[in-house]
Amino acid sequence: MVAFSWDVERVVNSMALQLVKQFYPTSVAKETGLPLEDTFSSLIDLVKQNKLILKWEIRCPAHCARTIITLEKLPENLSCLSCTCGEDYEEITSDMIYPVFEISAQYKAYLRDQNCKKKHSKRMGTLLPI
CATH number at residue 110: 1.10.10.10
Strand 97-103 versus strand 52-59 pairing type: antiparallel
Please give the pLDDT value at position 91.
Answer: 84
Q: Tell me the one-letter amino acid at 25.
A: P
Question: Whole-angstrom Cα distance, residue 97 to residue 109?
Answer: 30
Q: What is the extent of the structural domain holding 11?
A: 2-127
Domain count, the chain: 1
Please give the pLDDT value at position 43.
Answer: 97
Return per-residue pLDDT of the chain as tens, 130 residues: 566 789 999 999 999 999 899 999 999 999 999 999 999 999 999 999 999 999 999 999 887 889 999 999 987 777 788 888 888 888 888 889 999 999 999 999 999 998 887 765 665 555 545 4
Please give the pLDDT value at position 123.
Answer: 56
Please give the pLDDT value at position 79.
Answer: 73
Residue 122's SS3 state is helix
**What is the model's pTM?**
0.83
Please give the pLDDT value at position 1.
Answer: 54
